[in-house]
Amino acid sequence: MCSTVLCLQSSGSNVGANMDVPLQDCIIEEQRGVVRFLWAEGVKPVEIHRRMLAQYGQSTMSQRNVYDWVQRFKSGRTRVTDEGRSGRPSTSLTQDHKSSRKASSPQEYRN
């Protein structure tokens, strides 16, 4: 879930309150949802990306990804979460694995 910070002006009234909402820590599914919402309203992908840049800053998905997701939604996709994948799950390198790989000689991998 994104963290939001609301900063209200101390004018004594909430009318016209200034809201500062940093969105840099949001998850990718939220950005995909924004793409879906704006596309459904008829906003062009280039404009969607421009608007997202203004809110998400450097955390914004690439313009290419915005175009790709618009294409997926046009094709009938409705979910913004990743699809399940088949095959071997990804593995990570622990410090022990990194050390053992560095200690291994490239000669060991040759015939």
Which domains are assigned to the chain?
27-77 (1.10.10.1450)
Q: Are 20 and 6 in contact (CB under 8 A)?
A: yes
Distance CA(31)–CA(42), nearest Å, equals 17
Tokens (6 digits) for 108: 């060991």
* Dihedrals phi, psi of 14, to nearest 5 degrees: -90, -5
pLDDT at 95: 65
The tens digit of pLDDT for each residue in 1-60 reads 343 332 223 334 444 444 455 566 778 999 999 999 999 999 999 999 999 999 999 899
Task: Report yes or no on whether pTM surpasses 0.75.
Answer: no
pLDDT the model gives residue 16: 42
- Element holding 106 (H helix, E strand): none
**pLDDT at position 39:** 97
Contact between residue 48 and residue 12 where contact means Cβ atoms under 8 Å apart:
no
pLDDT band at 89 (very low <50, low <70, confident <90, very high): confident
